[in-house]
């Protein structure tokens, strides 16, 4: 591959990451908006009930999704003519698996005390179908390395969901109204995804789907699917255990802090959305290494100052968003969770390298080791410490996952740097920490001043420590202006 081709591939990945990041920002803002409104307008127990039901849906969706979407992106990137067949077969497989899983879970869990409202659970489980279908469409767009139309559809889905939930809250619909609004908004978003799908030239009649297509789609997905399920449990098992042991009230406190964490994870997903197809389409070890290191650098640029803000002003941020009812209880939870997004990002990018090399077993080992640690720590820490214990278990388990995955990469001869790409952001974040501690300003003005301090410090450091990062940023700004 020539230098010009490498440069074009890099720029295309950067463009896709930027477009996806913009859509994720807007989508996360919309999601945060209805979550904040629900936390402020619903009683603590009702907000916990909604969060608990949504967690159940997400865990069960991971079982039904299996490894189909990751396999679709990998195969579709490597073999574009096969993408329409793989897309259609993926939707069929996911629907066939989801129907019995959701039905059985709904029947079994509807009467349990920890669930609370069966109506809330039913709406959330039904919303799992369009959520899965939309995700497959986004994976297909990633394989095509096309972001614009799908990104708009994602924003429309989140905005429609937020609007429907807010209407339900204003109308006094309670937790049931919030769940129904989530269901309506998710179906509306799926409609927007279907419209965007028409531009990708992958639609074909279901009657043309063959057994060979179904077999091709499911082949090689077992370890990926199992790893994905384990990873989803790693993300959500703390809420399930917390709700069972401590009840919806403690779930609400933990979910408030966790929502702040989830809101910034869009950076990881946006970068990986662009990086995975590029890694899957190459056999060049050096190109995978550069992709991993630049992805980590971008993630560190966002997540290290996030840690600084959460440590110094976490309580003030929670008070601004969710009100005084959650600020004191959730602030220490947020402080413990603050480093987790960076570890999630490093684990995600390492998994993409392994996926590009068709090494699903190492991915599973990393996720399983982290889940085992998470389960043990949750069982030990949640009964005496509640939400803080769950936060400790979450952060520690992601550290374990990153360590295991990096060991797996080294055994395969892949030796990407992890700490070096973070050096500039780490130094700038220390300056930000000092600025926040010394600031006499109100929160919003303090964050604005802190952002200026961080940006200036990062530019000074990156010009000395990692000039290639500065060059990439300059090229992106130049392309944005043009």
- Per-residue pLDDT tens for 319-336? 999 988 899 999 999 999
Lowest pLDDT segment from 48-57, 64-73, 176-185, 449-458: 64-73
- Select from 247, 274, 456, 276 the least CA-distant residue to 357: 276
pLDDT of 258 strictly over 60:
yes
pLDDT of 286 strictly over 60:
yes
Q: What is the pLDDT of residue 116?
A: 77
CB 136 within 8 A of CB 87: yes
Q: What is the mean pLDDT of the chain?
A: 87
Q: What is the pLDDT of residue 335?
A: 97
pLDDT of 161 strictly over 70:
yes
Q: What is the pLDDT of residue 189?
A: 95
Using CA atoms, how far apart are residues 320 and 105, in angstroms rounded to an integer? Answer: 37
Q: Give the angle subtended at the CA of 13 by the CAs of 473 and 346, to the nearest 5°.
A: 80
Q: Give the angle subtended at the CA of 8 by the CAs of 6 and 10, to the nearest 5°.
A: 70
pTM across the whole model = 0.78
Residue 76 tokens, joined = 């579709």
Using CA atoms, how far apart are residues 375 and 145, in angstroms rounded to an integer? Answer: 37
Mean pLDDT, residues 9-13:
53
Q: How confident is the model at residue 480 (pLDDT cuts 50, 70, 90)?
A: very low
In tens, the pLDDT along 380-407 reads 999 999 999 999 999 999 999 999 999 9
Which residue would you say has higher pLDDT here, 52 or 203?
52
pLDDT of 417 strictly over 80:
yes
CB 73 within 8 A of CB 273: no
Cα Rg of the chain (Å, integer): 22
Which residue would you say has higher pLDDT here, 458 or 15?
458
Cα 37 from chain centroid? 22
């Amino acid at each position: 591959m020539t230098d010009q081709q490498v440069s074009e591939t890099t720029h295309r990945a950067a463009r896709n990451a930027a477009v996806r990041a913009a859509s994720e920002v807007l989508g996360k803002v919309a999601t945060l908006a209805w979550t904040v409104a629900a936390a402020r307008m619903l009683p603590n127990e009702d907000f916990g009930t909604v969060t608990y039901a949504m967690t159940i849906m997400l865990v069960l969706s991971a079982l039904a999704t299996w490894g189909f979407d990751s396999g679709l992106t990998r195969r579709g990137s490597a073999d574009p003519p096969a993408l329409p067949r793989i897309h259609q077969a993926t939707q069929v497989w996911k629907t066939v698996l989801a129907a019995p899983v959701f039905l059985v879970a709904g029947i079994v869990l509807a009467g349990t005390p920890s669930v609370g409202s069966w109506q809330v659970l039913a709406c959330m489980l039904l919303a799992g179908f369009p959520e899965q279908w939309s995700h497959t469409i986004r994976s297909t767009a990633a394989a095509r390395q096309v972001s614009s139309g799908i990104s708009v559809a994602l924003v429309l889905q989140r905005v429609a969901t937020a609007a429907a939930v807010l209407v339900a809250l204003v109308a006094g619909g309670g937790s049931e109204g919030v769940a129904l609004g989530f269901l309506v908004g998710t179906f509306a978003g799926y409609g927007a995804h279907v419209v965007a799908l028409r531009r990708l030239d992958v639609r074909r009649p279901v009657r043309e789907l063959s057994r060979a297509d179904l077999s091709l789609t499911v082949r090689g997905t077992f370890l990926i699917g199992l790893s994905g399920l384990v990873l989803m449990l790693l993300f959500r098992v703390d809420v399930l255990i917390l709700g069972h042991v401590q009840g919806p009230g403690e779930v609400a406190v933990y979910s408030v802090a966790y929502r702040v964490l989830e809101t910034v994870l869009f950076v990881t997903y946006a970068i990986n959305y662009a990086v995975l197809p590029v890694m899957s389409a190459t056999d060049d070890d050096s190109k995978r290494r550069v992709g991993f290191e630049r992805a980590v650098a971008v993630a560190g640029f966002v997540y290290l100052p996030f840690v600084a803000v959460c440590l110094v002003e976490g309580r003030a941020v929670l008070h601004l968003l969710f009100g005084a009812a959650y600020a004191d209880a959730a602030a220490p939870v947020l402080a413990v969770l603050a480093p987790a997004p960076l570890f999630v990002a490093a684990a995600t990018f390492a998994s993409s390298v392994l996926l590009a090399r068709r090494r699903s077993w190492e991915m599973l080992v990393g996720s399983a080791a982290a889940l085992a640690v998470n389960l043990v720590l949750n069982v030990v820490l949640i009964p005496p410490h509640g939400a803080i214990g769950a936060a400790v278990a979450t952060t520690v388990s992601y550290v374990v996952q990153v360590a295991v995955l990096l060991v797996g990469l080294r055994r395969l001869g892949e030796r990407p740097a992890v700490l070096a790409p973070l050096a500039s952001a780490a130094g700038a974040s220390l300056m930000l920490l000092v600025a926040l501690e010394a600031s006499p300003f109100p929160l919003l003005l303090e964050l604005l001043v802190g952002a200026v301090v961080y940006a200036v410090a990062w530019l000074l450091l990156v010009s000395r420590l990692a000039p290639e990062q500065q060059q990439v940023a300059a090229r992106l700004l130049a392309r944005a202006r043009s």
